[in-house]
Amino acid sequence: MIGEAPLLRINRSFTRPSAEIVARFAGTQTGHAVDAMGGQGAVHERIKPLTIRDDVMVGVAVTSQSGPCDNLGLFASLDLLQPGDVLIASADNYTAAAITGDLLMGMARNLGAVGFVTDGAVRDRTGLLAVGVPIYAAGLTPNSPARSGPGTAGFPVVVGGVPVASGDIVIGDADGVVIVPQGRIEEVLAALEAVREAEAGLEAKVKAGLGVPDFLREILDSDRTLWS
């Protein structure tokens, strides 16, 4: 590369779904969202909630990329935050040092963040719980990062094996985190109606005593099953 590389690259030009669109995802279980996307969309299971919560985290992704043992990109993403956003911080799966602690997350909360997701580690567990923002991370460590850069904010990243762009919908619950790409929002919302209806119908049957579901009975009673 000719010349000195920039310390930060920041993208402010991404589009956001409307508040009305985001509200339509409120309370959506991650499992239902995955079903509505054909069985995909969840980040790797190593990214776990810091504490199990009964509520569902739903917000708009604001992404960042930081190198190993660094969090300058994550700090830069604070300047992009709007109320209702979820910070998505790629650390390239580096967990030997935390990418954030309670003070940075307190700043994010003050700016309206409703969640945080990283493939890296976090620290200050007690303080993070007091901040009150749902945290999903790949580990815990007291080791602290530098703020040396380079880093990015607002550009597409990959977290937990899933591509994430600023403006995507982020859903998190006790099972994990799901990313709904902005370009698929209407498709997923339409599919969610059918998923919820099917789940509610099957749940009612289970509560009424269902043992063998209809789809399995049809297979068992057909020539597609070989009995011995």
Q: What is the pLDDT of residue 60?
A: 98
**How far is 192 from 196, CA to CA, in rounded Å?**
6
The two counts, helices (H) then strands (E), for the chain are 7, 14
Ranges under pLDDT 50 in the chain: none
The answer to whether residue 207 is domain-embedded is: no
Residues β-bridged to residue 87: 62, 116
**How far is 213 from 63, CA to CA, in rounded Å?**
42
**How far is 105 from 78, CA to CA, in rounded Å?**
10
The answer to whether residue 91 is domain-embedded is: yes
The answer to whether residue 95 is domain-embedded is: yes
The answer to whether residue 2 is domain-embedded is: no
Q: What is the pLDDT of residue 53?
A: 87
Segment 118-163, tens digit of pLDDT: 999 999 999 999 999 999 999 999 999 999 999 999 999 999 999 9
Dihedral-angle region of residue 98 (phi above 0 means left; psi in -120 to 50 means alpha; beta otherwise): beta
Among residues 146, 144, 62, 147, which one has the least CA distance to residue 101? Answer: 144
The answer to whether residue 194 is domain-embedded is: no
Q: What is the DSSP letter of 68?
A: T
CATH at 126: 3.50.30.40
Largest CA distance in the chain: 74
Q: What is the pLDDT of residue 210?
A: 81
Number of domain units in the chain: 1
Dihedral-angle region of residue 110 (phi above 0 means left; psi in -120 to 50 means alpha; beta otherwise): alpha
Expressed as residue numbers, the domain containing 127 is 8-183
